[in-house]
Structure 1
Amino acid sequence: MGSTMTAESRLLSLLGMLATGRTRTATELAAHFGVTPRSIRRDMTSLRQLGYVIESVPGVLGGYRAQSHTVLPPLQLETGEALATAVGLALLNGAGLGTSNADSATAKLQGMLPPAMRETIRNISTAVSVLPGHEPGVDMTAVMTTASAIASRSVLTFTHVKRKSAGSQAMERRVEPVRMVVLGAHWYLYAWDLTRADWRVFRLDRMSEVHETTFAFAPRDHPDAEAAVSSAVTTHAYRHTVILDVDASAAEAEAWFPTRAATITATDDGARVEFGVEDLTWAAVITAATPVSFRVIEPPALLDALHDLGARAARVSRSGTSRSG
């Protein structure tokens, strides 16, 4: 950026940069705009006087930061951009994730559109619905707060309810958030748990009192978030982990073992399928229904369950009943 940029234009550009949620130093911003750090400090004062909440973060990683949902520069949307945004808001509401803010934003955007496009948005908003009992149950405020903490690399705190056979247990969590992942019907957070000093997966609909702190953290090397969430959801949460090698490609295996229920990886001569179950009898049914050749890798007890299933199926085929004798 050159120093010929007007102060007003620089303020708008600063808002756009701060809206990402990243922490930026006065020196970094000054170099970007070709001005002095003193000019940047004056700009920050001006933005605060206009009502924008901009924090001064101390320390080595310090600088200026604003929560992304509190900084929104004036927008000038072209017709196509306004339509795309309004469609997204309508689908968000249809998916059970709508809020009063989404409703008011949709109304404002509709006012920017030609009559035919306004009708399109109204049609879309009534074309998507969620059956009772199948709402995601995710609080949009929690989603936005979590997304802001991920973008700004800020420590996140929340209360998490863990389901156990004996009941539910609520625990306070303090984490370094990495990514939100949607798998099946649920949203998950992949994060470094500061208390347990390990990577953990949390379901967003079991999180409450979500708060983005002012404590910044340096990024850690971490496993692939999507793979970690898939593994945690499809295998680690269950009593038994079933591992099969199937004579089919990974893409073909997904037709019999959806990725929301199993972790599928390509091998030299086919694919490896891993999924979790509470009952090996049910695993035997799923395994026996696989329409290609396969090998049972784990657990050995699955072979006994398959033997029992075969004997039961043979009785039914002979007599029409599963009863012996």
Structure 2
Amino acid sequence: MTDTPARLLHLLSLLQTPREWPGSELAERLSVSSRTIRRDVDRLRELGYPVEATRGAVGGYRLVAGTAMPPLLLDDEEAVAIAVGLRAGAGHAIEGVDEASVRALAKLEQVLPARLRHRVSTLQNATLPLTRGDGATVAPSTLTALAGAVTAREKVRFSYRAGDGADTKRLVEPYRLVSTGRRWYLVAYDLGREDWRTFRVDRVTEPFATGARFAPRELPEGDEAAYLARSMSRALGEVDLDVSFGAGVEAVAGRLPAHLVPVADGDGACRVRGRVAESVEWLAVRLMLLDVPFTVHAPEALRAHIRTLATRLTTSLT
């Protein structure tokens, strides 16, 4: 193999398998001399790949963990498996993983050959994830399109369905995708409204990066997460929540969204207290889905809404 770049890629592919390769075997695999293998190993080290060499009759080369993450070579099956896994991670409420999954997925799908993108979509469409049902479904293609525009600082156009059902066309400067655990939101500067806006990504369709770059603006609240929290508070109104549960922390925590954190409150009981930006309608339904005895101490609006729901459900049985 006389093509140096191709030979280096082949050598790297071999070294990424979890074993130690004798220099003579690598030389035979690549049809070069042992001296060429040593030079190629030095080139890989210069590129940031930590290749360790051992001396002796049974010595050889192996790729070890380093201080930085170098690029990886993936075969077709590995690329498909990782893409499917990233799509799953992007759509589930795994704290700290969902946003990273979208960024990684955007990079991977940008270079996936068409035949592999088709395999990923086919496998994704043939499987049904079991979710907790407290968030809206978002197409991975929408997430990756928006993530790519955020990273490239590219203006993006899309259709948006508002809460009242009205459909509009938007042209925005996208700044950040934020996952709240239940939903994805896009924080962006809306050029048509000449103001900052947050968009629920499950209501976004046909996102299209225009190719036009933009210079970053300064957010009113300092960062995207703070702006989203403030925006949600204004839209929903904050409530002082106080609910006790007839079950321990371990039984309740796994059934609640990540931002509702229970603390122990006596033997076999726990309690959630705090100011949250949620509607009383959503809180009522979420509490009833827990299948755990609970008592709402506050707010009164939530207590009243649960009474109304209880009356409605009781009436439906008569």
- TM-score > 0.5 by shorter chain: no
| TM-score where L is the length of structure 2 | 0.45
| TM-score where L is the length of structure 1 | 0.44
